[in-house]
Structure 1
Amino acid sequence: MFEMIRYEVADGIAWLYLNRPDKLNAFIAQMNREVGVAVKAASNDEEVRCIVITGEGRAFCSGQDLAEVDENMDHGQVLRDHYGPMIKQLRECEKPIIAAVNGVAAGAGFSLALACDFRLVSERASFVNAFIHVGLIPDSGNLYYLTQLVGHAKATELAMLGEKVTAAEALEMGLANRLIPVDTWEEDVNAFAARLAALPTKAIGLIKRSLKAISTLSFEDYLEQEAQGQRIAGLTKDHREGVNAFMQKRKPVYSGQ
């Protein structure tokens, strides 16, 4: 089904590997499409309760493959046709998405990591808003997410100067949720994903809805959406399991329902 990515599901976790290691997992149109298809498949799969996106080889994703760029290309149409639909698919997904940044995340690879809910970062990873180095602006939702994470001033700096951000710097400025040693990379990523997969999945989806609504609703409208979301959460099996487990003084076992 896929040629540019590798997709596997195990123990409630969907693993999506960008799979062009000889090109540092640079994007081509087919990879954009396949990422979107895989995220949609994971979203619709009741067995999947967490999604992990990572890269094969030594890079996470180096951005657009410049070998596909020519002087007659309409870059705006490329975004509308390929990158926009991919990023929208991530945004619409109501399951937790982890970017396991194993190496460089540059350009649209940086944007892809920003669009995920969590960024687990290897000690040898780095981020580069490389668009400015080829006379372009950050795209694929980059500045939308970046300003939320690091603030307007720092986002301006990263966008206009295009300087490399090390893994340690990413953690310090709030780009990364966890900085993971190379020696324990796979173990720690697996443990973090398993932890998310064991949580109440429906509640996580409702949290994601609330977070998206913050910037678009008035406070009064937000409170109404919050009430609607809590009503839905209160009807889930996981809510009942959580209450029962608390009353019985045991650890809850959530089903994602």
Structure 2
Amino acid sequence: MSSNSIEVKIENNVAWIALNRPEVFNSFNREMALSLQDTLDNCAADSNVRAIVLTGNGKAFCAGQDLKEVTTPEINPGFRRILEEHYNPIIQKIRNIEKPIVAAVNGVAAGAGANIALACDIVVAVESASFIQAFSKIGLVPDSAGTFFLPRLIGFQKASALMMLGDKVSAEEGVNLGMIYKVFAADSFEAEVKKVAENLAQMPTKALGLTKRLLNQSMTNSLEEQLALESDLQIEASSSYDYNEGVTAFVEKRVPEFKGN
């Protein structure tokens, strides 16, 4: 589950995935993109993994695409392959894995790096982190589902301005905009992320996965379709071990021991 460009460890039912190209601010090349996809697939299939944290090693979360790769003819995959084989599958896997995924933004998140973070279920950041829709600075359009998620998170007008102007958004401003969940001080960042992730891993993760499916479908469903899906998935959730354990623990006035099924 690891490669030179991706580091993975599993502790207390949490998979910690770290982008590991710190010398280039964790910018993506083909090897790292494909390795991240494999890692996400492995985490999805591993029943011991009940929550996932995505972060970066070094000073940055992710600076987006490694421009050296796209400006070196011998290794340049071309933008169609980069999008269709690198970034689009990463976004789809993040959204389709029915386990909670936390983006722990430890530094700058730019371009595709910012949008990969925003595709996660919960985004937390260190107080010194920043988010930049950097595409317009080099004559490109936003990708990695940025044009899908960012307007839904902060509104059309603000998203349009950030994408066209390429303004840097501080972590604190990101919270105020509703773009991310919380900001933590540098000296407590790792401990706070661990607290969030391990709390998720101890929760009824079957229900969290179904909630994620509902949120995904809410992006395109009509009200009637969403109500019907809520009914179907509530029936599925109510037949789970975790529901029975949660209700029993409530009646018995004890802490529930969820298993994620």
Q: What is the TM-score normalised by the length of structure 2?
A: 0.96
**SS of 1:251 mapped into structure 2:** coil
Q: Does 1:105 align with 2:106?
A: no
**Residue equivalent to 1:228:** 232
| 1:173 maps to 2:174 | no
Q: 2:241 aligns with which of 234, 237, 243?
A: 237
Alpha-carbon offset, residue 56 of structure 1: 0.2
Question: d(CA) in 1 for partners of 2:72 and 2:28?
Answer: 18
In the alignment, residue 201 of structure 1 is paired with which amino acid? T
- The equivalent of 2:30 in structure 1 is 29
Matched, 1:2 2:3: yes
Distance, in Å, in 2 between the alignment partners of 1:174 and 1:37 is 31
Q: What is the 5 A alignment of 1:16-165?
A: 16-70=17-71, 74-165=78-169
Query: Pairwise CA RMSD of aligned residues?
Result: 1.2
Tell me the residue number matched to 1:215.
219
Asked if the contact 2:28/2:66 (under 8 Å) is kept, the reply is yes
Q: Percent identity?
A: 43
Aligned residues: 257
Between the aligned partners of 1:244 and 1:117, the Cα distance in structure 2 is 28
Letter in 1 for 2:17: L
1:22 alignment partner AA = E
Alpha-carbon displacement from aligned partner over 1:177-227 (angstroms, at most 9, x marks no partner):
111000101111101111111110110011011111112222222222111
The one-letter amino acid paired with 1:35 is L
Secondary structure of the 1:16 match is strand
Q: Is the 8 A contact 1:36 1:90 kept in 2?
A: no
Q: What amino acid is the match of 1:117? A: D
1:43–1:93 Cα contact (<8 Å) kept: yes
Structure 1 counterpart SS, 2:174: helix
What is the deviation of 1:162? Answer: 0.2
Q: 1:185 aligns with which of 180, 183, 189?
A: 189
Q: Is the 8 A contact 2:14 2:198 kept in 1?
A: yes
> Tell me, what secondary structure is at the counterpart of 2:253?
coil
Following the alignment from structure 2 to structure 1, what is the Cα–Cα distance between the partners of residues 224 and 50? 31
* Contact 1:124 1:167 survives alignment (8 Å): yes
